[in-house]
Amino acid sequence: MKSRVLAVLFAAMLAAGTLAGCGSKAAENTETKTEDTKEDTNDAENDKDTSEAEPTVTPKMATEEEAEAAGFTDASENDDAIVVLDTSRELTGIHHADINIRDYGEIQVELDADTAPVTVTNFVKLVQDQFYDGLTFWRIMDGFMMQGGDPKGNGTGGSGETIKGEFSSNGVDNDISHTRGTISMARSTDPDSASSQFFIVQSDSTFLDGDYAAFGHVTEGMDIVDKICKEAKPTDDNGSIKADEQPVIESIRIID
């Protein structure tokens, strides 16, 4: 479709040039006939017939490369414009992000900044800093969840900053339940120790409610979560995955 649109635009430009050229020639012929009063009627008719018989020039259909060289571009190229949210203050409302996992595909998530503003703002900031790009899901337990976002890849790392835990046992109202598809923050025993690590719940785990900061849910891609969890080969009961077998987060991008 892109090539067709560009070709039509370029063809229209060439056709306009051709028509303009034909118009100029006709005007010159008219002036010549007006000035030459000695020319007989038959010659005038012959000139008219000759002018009308001029072949029609078929506009050349431009290739995509030629059209781009001429300055034409397809508007669809701008469809993937990067959205940057202001994380200098706590976000509000509903936002969306795409998590692209190498060899698996894309998981789309909805983030609820009205319920967990601190958590969503922290997550969005890290995403926009491209912090997660290239990191992995280091802990996977089929029938429970998959956890990632640790730069060390072993559960001991973070972004260097921690945030307040937004859950009821820490004095914050949060009614997002840890049902299938929920995205939530991992932490240590310190309630305010969450940093960059997050997990996606594969099966209902409501026993986590009130103790972990859930901040959104998967809208598309739970089949990918299931596939990753099913194919995982943990090396211990904690769900640890070998470094060279950890699914890689190629990128996370904020959509709105």
pLDDT digits (tens, 9 = 90+) for 94-144: 999 999 999 999 999 999 999 999 999 999 999 999 999 999 999 999 999
pLDDT at 232: 98
pLDDT of residue 82: 78
Q: What is the pLDDT of residue 55?
A: 46
Task: Determine the average pLDDT of the residues in 164-177.
Answer: 99
Give me the mean pLDDT over the 200-220 stretch. Answer: 99
Q: Write the DSSP symbol of residue 205.
A: -
Query: What tokens does 26 get?
Result: 């006709």
User: Whole-prediction pTM value?
Assistant: 0.70
| Residue 81, pLDDT above cutoff 50 | yes
Reported as a single tens digit per residue, the pLDDT across 136-170 is: 999 999 999 999 999 999 999 999 999 999 999 99
Tell me which residue of 22, 240, 65, 253 sits closest to 147, measured CA to CA: 240
Distant-in-sequence contacts of 47-54, Cβ < 8 A, 24+ apart:
51/26, 54/22
Residue-averaged pLDDT of the chain: 82
**Cα angle vertex 197, ends 196, 201, to 5°?**
140
Count of alpha carbons within 13 Å of 144, Cβ hemisphere only?
12
Q: Give the C-alpha separation, 233 to 164, whole Å.
A: 33
Bridge-partner residues for 64, per DSSP?
Answer: none
Q: Is the dihedral of CA 204, 206, 211, 215 positive or negative?
A: positive
Range ranked top by mean pLDDT from 12-16, 44-48, 77-81, 203-207:
203-207
